[in-house]
Amino acid sequence: MRLSWFNVVSLTLGFAFLYIPMIILVIFSFNESKLVTVWAGFSTKWYAELMQNEAFLNAAWVTVKVAVFSSTLATVLGTMAAYVLIRGGRFMGRTLFSGMIYAPLVMPEVITGLSLLLLFIGIGLDRGVLTVVLAHTTFSMCYVSVVVSSRLATFDRSLEEAALDLGCTAIEAFRLVTLPIIAPAVISGWLLAFTLSLDDLVIASFTTGPSATTLPIKIFSAVRLGVSPEINALSTLMIAIVTIGVITASLVSKRNLARQRKDEQLAVRAS
Amino acid sequence: MMRRFTLIAVPYLWLLLLFLVPFVIVLKISLSDTALSIPPYTPVLDWAEGIRAFFSQLDFENFVWLTQDDLYWKAYLSSFSIALVSTLLTLLIGYPIAYGMARAPEEWRPTLMMLIILPFWTSFLIRVYAWMGILSNEGFLNQFLLWLGLIDTPLTILNTNTAVYIGIVYTYLPFMILPIYAALDRLDGSLIEAAEDLGCSRLLAFWLVVIPLSRNGIVAGCFLVFIPALGEFVIPSLLGGSGTLMIGKVLWEEFFSNRDWPVASAVAVVLLLILVVPIVLFQRNQQKQAEAEQ
């Protein structure tokens, strides 16, 4: 197939639409003036100011803590759930279980947030870092389990059976055979859970207390008052981190794929 | 055996306690009286009292209230129409992009895919915020249009429904493009050639061959945009104005500003009931697709 002029135009306009807003945001984070729409010369002063803003730094620290704990917990629970869904066979309440895995993916955040808050109040749990971690773990474990179960569903089960026949216990078979094969999916599940947690405003707003303000909550309350160059600087830093992360991840996976192919070729030649 | 039990029980209990039980509580509170004490609800039913008490003490007052006050049904209706219109706009903008990607040379495709996915990893809040500077009265869009000479006075876009449409289309575009691209990518190019050989014009071949064969992708993309857009909160509260009524925003305000928890819970229950239809349809579409692939 060949690109027609229509394809070229729609791709160009489409990617321009996706990227120009973020490019403008980044450019104006280096603006000298406080006015965010008038260019007044290059400056990095907003970054310097951001680094001295304790409230933002504290919020960033809380956010990272919450994201690390909740994504790790979500990865463990989500991988277990995926294993149960794909390999668990039949058990009582399986339909309810798979329903509870898929439902949070389509649930409006306002409802998830509200319901969790009412639960925490109902059982008398003080709202803070812990409650946000519990909330984030709950919805992101579902994303992890979807990612991991799609990998589990496609891999050859006879490899596990071979390991069991050769004398592995079930745990050894999981650790030595299954885990290395699903590892890329587990890692991308963790990354997904981590970014979902970093990004979440609505559920965190419902489930947090005054002691734990996360970065999105802080940004949201600042942004409601209008556009500010400091927020532009903060956004630029976040965009930069994500871009570097995604590009690194894709380069690493490309290299791994290339190495795997080479190994396979060597194996074919050797046999 | 014990091990299998633990493996099932741990995630199961977690979801029961932190997903299902909270919903039961929402349902329960939506059926409670509003009291002025904090927390602002009086439990209408005690778990211990059993089923009979449950049915004798149910109180639909909050749901009746939702039908009496204009605000709520207007908010549901306008959320529905905003979500519907923006889904169609996203389809119109997303389809040509997905089509272009599917026809691009093989070696470009991974890069194009990554460029579509990358915005998804960046903060949603920041992507919405980026439009505030573009759409405001002194914003870039108005400056650009004034410079072109297309308009004489700045257009008011920020804090209107137009800005909400733009925000939804922008943030959910990747969700539309990816399933359509996946469907188009599998499409056999020789089918189009066959149609053209048999006398179809290019446009007609596109309409008769490409569109029907990518139907599953279109349906999946539309649901993936429509379902989250319906309960959207961030976009209407940052880009919309005081006239923008969306149910997510109403729920938020009912809860945080009016502190009327029973009504907020009732709003949530009704929103969920509305969402059940598209969610079930979406599941069915996905299942059909999975079966077709086997």
Backbone phi, psi, residue A141, to 5°:
-65, -30
Q: What pLDDT is recorded for position A213?
A: 92
Q: In sequence order, what are the residues at sequence separation of 6 or more whose Cβ sits closer than 8 angstroms to the Cβ of residue B199?
A: none
Nearest to B87 by CA among B237, B241, B218, B279: B218
Report the alpha-carbon distance of residue A74 to residue A134 in Å, rounded: 9
**Per mean pLDDT, which range of A2-11, A43-52, A190-199, B56-65 is the poorest?**
B56-65
Range of the domain at B279: 69-293
Q: Kindly compute the dihedral angle of the four CA atoms of residues A171, A174, A179, A185, in this order, to the nearest 10 degrees.
A: -110
Spell out a b/e string for A205-219, using b for 16 or more CB atoms within 10 Å of the CB, else e. Answer: bbbbeeebbbbbbbb
Phi-psi category of residue A226: left, alpha or beta, with phi > 0 → left and psi -120 to 50 → alpha:
left
The answer to whether B239 faces chain A, any CB pair under 8 Å, is no
Write down the pLDDT at residue B39: 54
Which positions in chain A touch B93 (Cβ < 8 Å)? 14, 17
pLDDT band at A171 (very low <50, low <70, confident <90, very high): confident
In this prediction, residue B53 carries a pLDDT of 52
d(CA B165, CA A229): 25
Domain spans in chain A, listed from the N-terminal domain onward: 55-242
Task: Tell me the pLDDT of chain B averaged across its residues.
Answer: 85
Q: Is B48 inside any structural domain?
A: no
In this model, does residue A167 exceed pLDDT 90?
A: no
ipTM reported for the complex, 2 dp = 0.87
pLDDT digits (tens, 9 = 90+) for B162-186: 999 999 999 999 999 999 999 998 8
What was the pLDDT predicted at B41? Answer: 54
Average pLDDT, chain A: 88
Q: Are A231 and A79 in contact (CB under 8 A)?
A: no
CATH of the domain at B92: 1.10.3720.10
Q: What is the pLDDT of residue B36?
A: 40
Q: Which residue has the higher pLDDT, A145 or A263?
A: A145
Q: From residue B11, how far is each of A81, A95, B181 by CA, in Å?
A: 6, 14, 34
Supply the pLDDT for residue B57.
57
**A-chain residues within 8 Å CB-CB of B99?**
7, 10
Rounded Cα gap, residues B72 and A12, in angstroms: 41
Question: Would you say residue B21 lies in a domain?
Answer: no
Residue ranges of B 131-190 with Cβ closer than 8 A to chain A:
131-134, 136, 138-140, 143, 170, 173, 189
Name the residue with higher pLDDT: A242 or B91.
Answer: B91
Contact B131 A21 (CB under 8 A): yes
Are B87 and B175 a contacting pair, CB within 8 Å? no
| CA dist., res. B147 & res. A51, Å (int) | 37
Tell me whether residue B243 is exposed, middle or buried, using C-beta atoms within 10 angstroms of its C-beta: 0 to 12, 13 to 18, 19 or more: exposed
Q: How many CB atoms lie within 10 A of CB B152?
A: 7
What is chain A's length?
Answer: 271
pLDDT at A36 over 80: no
- Cα Rg of chain A, angstroms: 23
| Residue in B with minimal Cα distance to A218 | B125
pLDDT at B1: 61
Burial A62-71 (b: 16+ CB within 10 A, else e): bbeebbebbb
Q: How many domains is chain B partitioned into structurally?
A: 1
For residue A37, what is the nearest residue in chain B, using CA coordinates?
B139
pLDDT, average across residues A45-66: 91
What pLDDT band is residue A271 in, cutting at 50, 70 and 90? low
Q: Which residue type does B158 have?
A: L
* Joined tokens for residue A120: 């925490």
With CB atoms and an 8 Å threshold, state whether B231 touches A108: yes
pLDDT tens digits, chain B, 294 residues: what are they? 677 888 889 999 999 999 999 998 888 888 876 544 345 555 544 454 455 555 555 667 777 777 777 788 889 999 999 999 999 999 999 999 999 999 899 889 988 998 998 888 888 999 999 999 899 888 889 888 888 888 888 888 899 999 999 999 999 999 999 999 999 988 877 888 888 888 888 888 888 888 898 998 999 999 999 999 999 999 999 999 888 889 999 999 888 888 888 888 888 999 998 888 888 888 888 888 777 776
**Do the beta carbons of residue B240 and residue B163 sit within 8 Å?**
yes
Could you tell me if B214 and B180 are in contact, meaning their C-beta atoms sit under 8 angstroms apart? yes
Do residue B14 and residue A37 have CB atoms under 8 angstroms apart? no
Residue A11: pLDDT over 50: yes
Least confident residue range of A45-49, A69-73, B26-30, B216-220: B26-30
Judged by a CB distance cut-off of 8 A, whether residue B118 touches chain A is: yes
Read off φ and ψ for residue B42, nearest 5 degrees: -110, 125
3-class secondary structure per residue, A119-179: HHHHCCCCCCHHHHHHHHHHHHHHHHHHHHHHHHHHCCHHHHHHHHHCCCCHHHHHHHHHH
Whether B46 is in a domain gets the answer no
Q: In one letter, which amino acid is B141? A: L
For chain B, the residue count is: 294
Q: Does residue B100 form part of some domain?
A: yes
Q: What's the pLDDT band for A184 if we cut at 50, 70, 90?
A: confident
> Are the C-beta atoms of B89 and B167 separated by less than 8 Å?
no
> Is B1 a domain residue?
no
Within-domain flag for B5: no
Query: In Å, what is the CA distance from B130 to each residue of A196, A252, B135, B199?
Result: 19, 30, 9, 48
**pLDDT (0 to 100) of residue B52:** 52
Answer yes or no: is B202 within a domain. Answer: yes
Chain A residue at shortest CA distance from B236: A224
Higher pLDDT, B45 or A191: A191
B134/A199 CB distance under 8 A: no
pLDDT in tens, B14-33: 999 999 999 988 888 888 76
Torsional sign, CA A68, A72, A77, A82: positive
- Interface check for B54 against chain A (CB to CB < 8 A): the answer is no
pLDDT at B44: 45
Q: Could you say which of 3.40.50.720, 1.10.3720.10, 3.30.750.24, 1.25.40.80 is the CATH number of the domain covering A55-242?
A: 1.10.3720.10
Q: Is residue B169 part of a domain?
A: yes
CA distance A71 to A133: 9
